[in-house]
Structure 1
């Protein structure tokens, strides 16, 4: 047991061997006393004040606080001790302090607080992003409608184009917030990473500049993965940009892919399940990251760059995307030698998915001429844009501002070929009303729209048949294409 004898003024009179080992300092045996405040930081106030207050109260009921050991040059990590005080029955006036190492407890507490902070920021980011995506859908959509009425030679066309481009930039920023909060809808598909990286090579070479050499190599036995292509590209670009910024004088960046069979891999408080994984490594020869900072690099808004040179969202965005995909990301770094980010994705046994053939133009025109849509969206600007866009393409559109209104229209005898509905709405949500409607209309196609979705169809429910997803914000063409894809085959009408 680690014990200290402390005078009322906070100076340490004696320390046993256990206390010396814990504190790692040369404590006095009588001469040149050391003040406890020079060794331990108090809980929001100097440790000496706590000692004096406890002695003045003349209480021996075991007052306890967690104190932090002041930083030492040889300290590998922060240390905390639970210090319990009692009146010294032998040397009066004075106190006895019992020390217990509380570093593990404080580490767990810090991890819990950090996870709560990450969750709170994620919920805030996801909620804000959802609202912004509705606004951006309306802005981009009405901009598209205006551009249909202007030729490229029109003086207003360039202004409208600028509005559209800036809306796209805003959508990209919102996408980063959703990636961090892990509340974006991923469009998962079977990917060959050789194809993904081949398409990215030109852009990556432009990003790194002339001072840096980019090399890409692949395992000849490479396996496919299930991922969102656009988001995987975003992760790789973020890592390459970070590698570039770590080498202002130039150097080499290597992207290497291989396949591993893992029986047991545990690191960074994560254990990978047994199985085959495709690994993507992005390695640079830059300045490296200090050991004390590696654990923080995936935190949102944390950056080692100077003010104004980074948002601190790049690596947290990559982390969110990889985790939501079902993968893992790790960082190995050595100051002065470089950094390697390793991505692990479960390898797939199958081949890439076949693309459904697109209906011929004449056939599609005939389908559109007789197709009817029930559009359900609680945001009036989004509903107005979507309805106009669909009518311009020949659809018969029926509008509803809520799920309850949509069901009332159907109960009143309305028959349609396809439901186009928001996911998150006041009252009944999109998946719930669609399930209710499909009980009597099983052949109806569905397009779900949402600024984000988390468990879009809800836990414990079967997938909704004939359903597709359209992420907000979307353009006029994206909306039309999503509906057209659902209507490729001749629709089965409700009264057929």
Structure 2
């Protein structure tokens, strides 16, 4: 090599050395074949802490931790570089001050033109900050993984972009029933019902999440065992830094209990609203019936009195026609009182199966030839405490209603069953849990809309043509069942028919009560003279009552309210009977008056009258020497009541 060439080479090596020394982010230095440090740049000095004079001639193993030296990692690193042409790794290294840093290390062998090993080029980079960030991220991911895995109330898992499950937490396992190895790699659509699969809901859910940034819904989902649960579902898309969709995060919660509780609350609120509405209507109709009974009392008794003085057959016929019309009006008020649960009932223990069997002929005649009537009743049915005639009337009303719903014929099934109402089932009906008897009437008629069903028990509500019905039949059913401590329900679908079900409280081991041998046999009235005090605020009723008592031979005293009656009772006059209305103005009713009268005249007989039944009166009840008669009362009924009071029978 001539002088010019040597000078050029030296200049080139000098420039290369200046370049290496200028690098401060990398430690670049040379080792001899045994690992002794032969050169040192400014980058090595910056993050290893040694100046060149301190480190040249030292073995590079001093940068390694005690643990790495114990495994002879420095020696093995050089051997790997010689054998494989490179050694590359990351690990902890030690600075001059003893602190550790995370290093990325590359060792390359240096050979001459003949392949002889001259030493090693070693490049080290301080990656402590990056490792710190990676460790922090790893720790965060681990904490998040533990958090997700620790959640058992939510199913939290991920899907790939096509909807296949890529991970699975403990909550998903608990709620859906699958172990991770059973579900990873499977498509999430297996959790959906057949109805949702038919509408491609899983595909549409992912498309919505990808398009709108979220999919949220509630619906039925399927567990591994095939059972259903009501789920709240959220699906969020997962995008990478470039905005590309890489999967979905899916969170599912089992809210079946919450949904059931909400439905039960809604049913209870609806039942309460319906009950309050029917109660309000019942109070109105009960009041109307009471006033109507006052009018009928005047009418029927005046007709009775006219009958006694009829002069010829024509007058008798006209009076009898008016009496029949009045009787129809009385039946109408009884239906109104039945709905308002104020009709006087005479309940006793009966086997409903026997009642129905004894009434079957009437029911078949009511159905007509075009209706096929069938019965389904088990051998043993619990007894119920009901008024037998009112029970038969309610059943007949249901059968007639079913018949009218099938003008072209059909099938009508009466089913009787024992039933037990559980706690949660009793909430919507307002009943107590326990044994009941269920009597259902199901037809195959035209059915009803929900709007019609919501009004079906209201008085005078009817879907029949004008003149075809009073709209009181189902009201009687409602009133009878409720007054008997039960509940009536209706299920109907337009075009598919209707089913009415009466639930009546059952007696576990009750037997039918013996029938009264003399029931319905009229006893002759025994007229007894005396003095009566009639207390009545309706002038027309007061007049007719006075006429009746006068015809029975009584001397009559009158009062228009309780205050007047007390004033009369305070006089020095003998009174055998006080006949008083219950509902009166001016602050004191007939029951309160009777208590005051008993204080003033302990031996006086007391007879109370009302358009409401006895069951609707104040709870104090009637004492000895007191009795009650319902309006509209008849001449013979009143005479019989007076006789019973007189004789104590």
**Out of 498, 519, 541, which is 1:339 matched to?**
498
Measure, in 1, the Cα distance between the counterparts of 2:511 and 2:627.
22
CA–CA distance in 1 between the matches of 2:382 and 2:266? 43
Superposition deviation, residue 138 in structure 1? 0.6
Structure 1 partner of 2:291: 131
Secondary structure, counterpart of 2:439 in structure 1 = strand
- Of 605, 608, 623, the residue aligned with 1:448 is 608
Aligned length: 392
* 1:482 and 2:645 are equivalent in the alignment: no
Work out whether 1:234 is the aligned partner of 2:367: no
Q: Is the 8 A contact 1:421 1:430 kept in 2?
A: yes
Partner of 2:183: none
1:188 aligned counterpart, secondary structure: coil
- 1:162 matched to 2:321? The reply is yes
Q: Which residue of 2 aligns with 1:400?
A: 559
Q: Distance in 1 between matches of 2:561 and 2:296?
A: 21
1:98-152 deviation line (CA, Å, top 9, x unaligned): xxxxx9899998877766654544343333332222111111111111112227x
Deviation at 1:345, TM superposition (A): 1.9
When you count helix as a share of all residues, which structure comes out higher? 2
Q: Deviations over 1:431-478 (max 9, x none)?
A: 00101222355554443211225964425x355344443222232223
Aligned mate of 2:513, from 352, 358, 374: 352
Normalised to the residue count of structure 2, the TM-score between the two structures is 0.52
SS at structure 1 position matched to 2:528 = helix
- Residue equivalent to 1:187: 345
Task: State which structure, 1 or 2, has the greater radius of gyration over its C-alpha atoms.
Answer: 2
Once the two structures are overlaid, the 10-residue window that deviates more, 416-425 or 159-168, is 416-425
Preserved contact between residue 413 and residue 442 of structure 2 (Cα < 8 Å)? yes
SS at match of 2:498: strand
Question: Are the aligned partners of 1:376 and 1:403 in contact in 2 as well (CA < 8 Å)?
Answer: yes
CA distance in 1, matches of 2:626, 2:480: 24
Tell me the distance in 1 between the aligned counterparts of 2:370 and 2:398: 17
Structure 1, unaligned runs of 5 or more:
1-13, 23-102, 491-496
Kept after mapping to 2: 8 A contact 1:376/1:406: yes
Matched-pair contact (CA < 8 Å) for 1:378–1:402: yes
1:434 aligns with 2:594: yes
Pair 402,264 (structure 1): closer, same or farther in 2 beyond 3 Å = same
Deviation per CA, 1:226-257, whole angstroms, max 9, x where unpaired?
33444333322221111111221223434444
Q: Map 1:465-480 to 2 at 5 A.
A: 465-480=624-639
Q: Which runs of 5+ in 2 are unaligned?
A: 1-210, 219-261
- Give the superposition deviation at 1:385: 1.8
Q: Which residue of 1 aligns with 2:428?
A: 269
Contact 2:339/2:478, CA 8 A, preserved across alignment = yes
Deviation at 1:264, TM superposition (A): 4.1
Contact 2:268–2:427 at 8 Å: present in 1 too?
no
Q: Distance in 1 between matches of 2:355 and 2:365?
A: 16
Structure 1 residues 442, 16: closer, same or farther in 2, change over 3 A? farther
Stretch deviating more after TM superposition (108-117 or 239-248): 108-117
Q: Note the 1:116-155 alignment, pairs <5 A.
A: 117-150=277-310, 154-155=313-314
- Contact 2:426 2:433 (8 Å CA) reproduced: no
* Cα drift, residue 218 of structure 1: 5.6
Structure 1: distance between partners of 2:431 and 2:566: 46
Alpha carbons of structure 1 residues 361 and 338: separation in structure 2 relative to 1, 3 Å = closer
Q: Are residue 379 (structure 1) and residue 379 (structure 2) matched?
A: no
Measure the CA separation in 2 of the matches of 1:148 and 1:401: 28
Q: Does structure 1 conserve the Cα–Cα contact (< 8 Å) formed by 2:394 and 2:477?
A: yes
Q: Kindly tell me: are residues 196 and 154 of structure 1, through their superposed partners in 2, closer, same or farther at Cα, counting changes over 3 Å?
A: farther
Q: CA 1:260 to 1:486, structure 2 compared with 1: closer, same or farther past 3 Å?
A: farther
Match of 2:568 among 409, 416, 434: 409
- Relative to structure 1, the CA distance from residue 362 to residue 451 in structure 2 (aligned partners, 3 Å threshold; closer, same or farther) is closer
The aligned runs of 1:319-330 (5 Å cut-off) are 319-330=478-489
CA shift for structure 1 position 425: 0.7
Following superposition of structure 1 onto structure 2, how do residues 358-377 of structure 1 map, counting pairs within 5 Å? Answer: 365=526, 368-369=527-528, 372-377=531-536
Q: 1:71 matched to which residue of 2?
A: none
* Equivalent position to 1:178, from 332, 337, 340: 337
Measure, in 2, the Cα distance between the counterparts of 1:322 and 1:16. 56
Q: In 2 relative to 1, CA 301–403 (structure 1 residues): closer, same or farther, beyond 3 Å?
A: same
> Normalising to structure 1: TM-score of the pair?
0.65
Q: 1:374 Cα shift? A: 3.2
2:476 equivalent in structure 1: 317
SS of 2:437's partner is strand
How many angstroms apart in 1 are the aligned matches of 2:565 and 2:625? 18
> What is the alpha-carbon distance in structure 2 between the residues aligned to residue 363 and residue 172 of structure 1?
24
Superposed CA RMSD in Å reads: 4.1
Higher RCO, 1 vs 2 (CA within 8 Å, ≥6 residues apart): 1
Q: Distance in 1 between matches of 2:395 and 2:577?
A: 37
Label 1:198 to 1:350 Cα distance change in 2 as closer, same or farther (>3 A).
closer
- Counterpart in 2 of 1:246? 405
> Closer, same or farther in 2 for the Cα pair 1:223/1:120, shift >3 Å?
closer
CA pair 110-203 structure 1, distance change in 2 beyond 3 A: closer
Counterpart for residue 444 of structure 2:
285
C-alpha contact 1:435 1:464 (8 A) present in aligned 2: no
Distance change in 2, residues 1:109/1:196 (3 Å): closer
